[in-house]
A and B are shown apart, each in its own frame.
Chain A
């Protein structure tokens, strides 16, 4: 289905459209990172940018994650709007210093005299027997840091709208995308629009349990809810969209209605964003809860390579269903 103002786009091309439109509209926007010229690195998210905007604003770099990110941060201090791209979150760990020590602290430690309005796109690219260092989802580490905002869109619509918001934001924004979502398609307006940072959304209404899902686990949660409906369990699915700051009021409102909460995040269990949500909701909605809050997350282990191990390591809608049944049929 395609109309004049909207079209069906996959997630990856929604990112691409946001970059095209923002770079055309605002000369201060530029992209820099490893592999921005290469489909192999960044999928089709950077398609056509080099041809349209030239090498001055589409800067492919050597493998120097630390300096390249620092350059992005530095350019943002100069008032430009850089989008730094890391083709894998794993590689981005070299850039913790400019992200955490510099960008996140900059506005505070100079008493508001300067700020790093930089966007850092980190891509989670896992599965396919890539093992430990090509699989890691570390959003919780960034969410832990004061001064950073962390967004994790799950739909094409949000992928575009949140990237636009991130580019417009005056603070450093970590924009984390999951390549397992690149083919998720939905209607995307052709105009420039913003999805507000810090606001979740209810994807599916329900009365029996709330599933708070992040990124890749959103479509899995919706699928789980559809399966559960066949058994008469009506789950409400919340897509958090932003993991820092969290939309606690939205989850709280839902939990007060459903009395049960399961949080799902395709990242490690210990110290994850799910743990933070659990702590906050336990604190604010303790008397409403009919069951302990559950988390459906990755086991506390590095990603394995071998196919059978990989299959049992990654989580999907079945894990959510199992957990919910356990919570409801106690």
Chain B
């Protein structure tokens, strides 16, 4: 590990995963207190996917997200303060308080937008990839979606078109085993999702989505391939959300919609991608506990400052209710 990667790169991956985790966890209390109402689909537990994928991209590459995209946004380098302010509905938010948690964007970082209609952004990402192909700009687009999205028709249409037109796109399916409340075995005739993409004659892999280096290494190969106009690829990242479908915990919110057994959740808690990476760090002597603590403090401070920034920012003006219906 130490010989293969520079320390800076490895600590960068760790820092980013931790930033996402602390960001998401910092929302729990405000959600429970009712200070945040916008539906937040927390990314806790899936950090290694977004961070591993985005580490294989250039800043000039593109990403489209879905409903659970705080992690995608931050991993791609989206502005942290603007994301926090958006969740609190402020004018300084990345979508000026018009979008909330489910509609986030930072075009300067190549994060071109997230939207919660399941599978709705897959074709948009393919369109961005087509644009890159037409412009010959050698940029790669990543489409993030969940296992639930693979039951939508547009998913199949998009895979077919991406291969037909050799689009520079990487499909990242985050299989967290649940489509909202429904376990995958009740949703999909074939639960081995990566096999679906194989039917469209593109390279397709199933990997451990809680292992950030495995994600990075696998995605890097297919990104380089797509950049050389060799076409799309599909990666199924097996992972698990440690929070509820929406909000901190479906049960805590009194809805009792989380049918996952405590045992199952505990099993996955042991596979927490950040803990796993920490252990690997120590084992390989990349970093000591003191350094980890320093990273934690520094990152936590950033999150606290983001909360302060959001708190002191103004809400959008009522007079600007209709301002962005059309682009002038």
A→B interface (CB under 8 Å): 30, 56-57, 59, 61-62, 64, 66-80, 82, 97-98, 101-102, 106-115, 117, 146-147, 149, 170-171
Q: A66-B154, A108-B98, A110-B113 are in contact. Are A101 and B120 (CB under 8 A)?
A: yes
Q: In the bound complex, do residue B161 and residue A61 qualify as a contact, i.e. CB atoms below 8 Å apart?
A: yes
Q: Which of A64, A70, A107, A146 gathers the greatest number of chain B CB atoms within 10 Å? A: A70
Q: In the bound complex, do residue B128 and residue A77 qualify as a contact, i.e. CB atoms below 8 Å apart?
A: yes
Number of cross-chain contacts by CB at 8 Å: 145
Kindly list chain A residues whose C-beta atoms are within 8 Å of the C-beta of B121. 102
A-B contact pairs, 9 of them (CB 8 A): A69-B123, A70-B122, A70-B154, A71-B126, A71-B161, A79-B131, A108-B98, A111-B99, A149-B326
Range, interface on chain B: 35 or more
Q: In the bound complex, do residue B96 and residue A112 qualify as a contact, i.e. CB atoms below 8 Å apart?
A: yes
CB proximity to A under 8 Å, residues B127-157: 127-135, 153-154, 157
Give the nearest-CB partner of A56 in chain B. Answer: B134
A100 CB to closest chain B CB (Å) equals 10
Q: Is B70 an interface residue (CB 8 A)?
A: no
A68 to B113, CA, bound (A): 19
Interface string of B70-107 (1 = CB under 8 A from A): 00000000000000000000000111111100010101
A82 CB to closest chain B CB (Å) equals 8
Cross-chain contact of B325 among A67, A78, A147 (Cβ < 8 A): A147
Q: A-B pairs with the 7 shortest C-beta distances? A: A74-B127, A70-B123, A111-B96, A67-B157, A78-B131, A74-B124, A64-B157
Q: In the bound complex, do residue A110 and residue B105 qualify as a contact, i.e. CB atoms below 8 Å apart?
A: yes
Q: A70-B154, A73-B124, A115-B327 are in contact. Are A64 and B131 (CB under 8 A)?
A: no
CB proximity to A under 8 Å, residues B296-328: 323-328
Q: In the bound complex, do residue A113 and residue B161 qualify as a contact, i.e. CB atoms below 8 Å apart?
A: no
Kindly list chain B residues whose C-beta atoms are within 8 Å of the C-beta of A113. 94-96, 105, 107
Kindly list chain B residues whose C-beta atoms are within 8 Å of the C-beta of A82. 127
Q: Is B158 an interface residue (CB 8 A)?
A: yes
Q: In the bound complex, do residue A111 and residue B98 qualify as a contact, i.e. CB atoms below 8 Å apart?
A: yes
Kindly list chain B residues whose C-beta atoms are within 8 Å of the C-beta of A78. 62, 127-128, 131-132, 135
Give the nearest-CB partner of A69 in chain B. Answer: B123
